[in-house]
Structure 1
């Protein structure tokens, strides 16, 4: 287990869940806390100078009492991709300095929803009852899809489930290289392992405890060989001095490592953030220069670079990708129809347009098989 877990909070109602017992078996040195001790720890964490640092070493085993499958929390001001989120837990043991989760979680601990029987029942009902033609479902919105998989073993079970689906695909999004257990499953092209990637400088300085770029790409190559579809997310692109050469180097290494025909999509998004993140990150890590790089307030209330600068960044990235993979399916995360037209020459005027564009990447592996 790469990420050290020092405390495990176990809710009373999940003590007898099989996954609870399995996780506790794998953490023999961790301190196991019950209800009264948990309340004491919550108060102590609230007083901590950096509750995130303690929270990333604290694992709560709990029950998801709501729906497991929900729409991606997009914003009406920009084009959204129509992804659905399968909520397996929240929080991340990695500690990226730019991470938005620092703003959204009041109690910054790691949580795993161990009632996986309910998860699979909910997922099966959703795919049967929803009349939509095809579903793209991802586990990496509120947590990294694989960071805690050495404890949970959930990714392999999900891959097995989706390998039999005829109207859905699973996207596993990660900054780790923990793919080896997935290699035991034949995904039949219906599981996409998506690697969030950045320049080596940003990875080294800002993606604390994440796998180096080279290890992520080596994992992508192993997964591709087993039959997994691959994706890459350049998000956030952070244009620090020298960014052009730094990102170009990563793009070239991607296409040296993975066959373009195995890549379902490549997404990109320039750094944007809720204004409060700048102060939270500064309190934890000190002043971070790129948060002070001429941002303006976007239509969604987030701090964004000016649209003309974003367009220039996207055009540069797209050109470098097209030189290595002319047919690559590229999409922009949370951008306007204007930016789409300027950068890709595509009329992407609604969420439905982008949903159809991405659905077409997985249709050959679902219907008709």
Structure 2
């Protein structure tokens, strides 16, 4: 269970049943009222690294920008691709994640007015007419990591079941699948699971559940009929990356049925230069940020020869297990999460 330091509640949403449920689950914590979440989240003089050890949870209402166009190169690459963010910041602590360079605060902000999100999603679907549309819920955070509090899936799974022309992707490193298993598998909901080799995960993916817990959860979901996707993003360059990624793929595909996967993707490390500089200041001794980086279109990335070598090797290894038709590369126009 996440160790929140406190709950901050916007006065305008304290009365909502969803908020009251969360308050009951966190009765032992301080409950602090505020007018706007920005009072807690936006002040300049904040220590992200210190806050990350025990962040607060802020319950708030979102008022605009409910649905945004997906960044270029993110996701399946389809027309009519969008993302929406019910949560700012992530309970996990992955060193390569751009969120640490984007936000001043490590506190979590949960936007609880799901009905307003649903209204804007419905309007967006309507604008697409008869064309399919795609919605990503894991761009600014992990879709399921706070599910025991947020009940996000409990609301949006039935919602998307009623709009079969739209597809929802939930991207996660979580093993919390209880809320998913309560529901019958929905064809137009994709559970996208992110995996890294053990060496990478132990060094860079702090607080993330173990591989064994996550792959066991993935197997349960697949057996329950859920459509799974695998995301190997970002590919992390290190001395033993060739054998590490080969071993990772072998372990995964010895457990999951590759023929039932929706899609598989790889992505390279990429981050806006300003975010990259901010994170280096936070973690100046982090080996991940030492060397091998170029700048391409305002993004900090690996040197081109490293990117080419990694993609070639990992794709060759992947195609031993999956058909090329379900594979894509996540483009360089989007950041690493």
Same fold, judged at TM 0.5 (above): yes
Aligned to 2:25: 26
1:258-301, Cα deviation, whole Å (9 max, x unpaired): 111221111111212233444433444442223223211102x1
CA RMSD in angstroms comes to: 2.6
> Shift of the alpha carbon at 1:127?
1.8
> Shift of the alpha carbon at 1:75?
7.2
Q: Is the 1:162–1:187 Cα contact (8 Å) retained in structure 2?
A: no
Aligned to 1:4: 3
Q: Is the 1:194–1:230 Cα contact (8 Å) retained in structure 2?
A: yes
Any idea what SS the aligned residue of 2:262 has? Answer: strand
Aligned to 1:244: 242
Matches of 1:37 and 1:266, distance apart in 2: 40
Matches of 1:330 and 1:52, distance apart in 2: 38
Aligned to 1:145: 143
1:312-339, Cα deviation, whole Å (9 max, x unpaired): 2111111111111234511111249xxx
Structure 1 residues 1-369: aligned runs within 5 Å: 2-35=1-34, 46-48=45-47, 50-53=49-52, 57-74=55-72, 82=79, 83-131=81-129, 133-299=131-297, 301-327=298-324, 329-335=326-332
Matches of 1:12 and 1:251, distance apart in 2: 48
Residues 1:43 and 1:326: Cα distance change in structure 2 (over 3 Å): closer
| Paired positions, count | 331
Q: Is the 1:198–1:234 Cα contact (8 Å) retained in structure 2?
A: yes
1:147-175, Cα deviation, whole Å (9 max, x unpaired): 11110111132122222322011111001
Q: Which runs of 5+ in 1 are unaligned?
A: 337-369
Any idea what SS the aligned residue of 2:106 has? Answer: coil
Any idea what SS the aligned residue of 1:50 has? Answer: helix
What TM-score results when the alignment is normalised by the length of structure 2? 0.90
Q: Which runs of 5+ in 2 are unaligned?
A: none
Matches of 1:48 and 1:290, distance apart in 2: 21
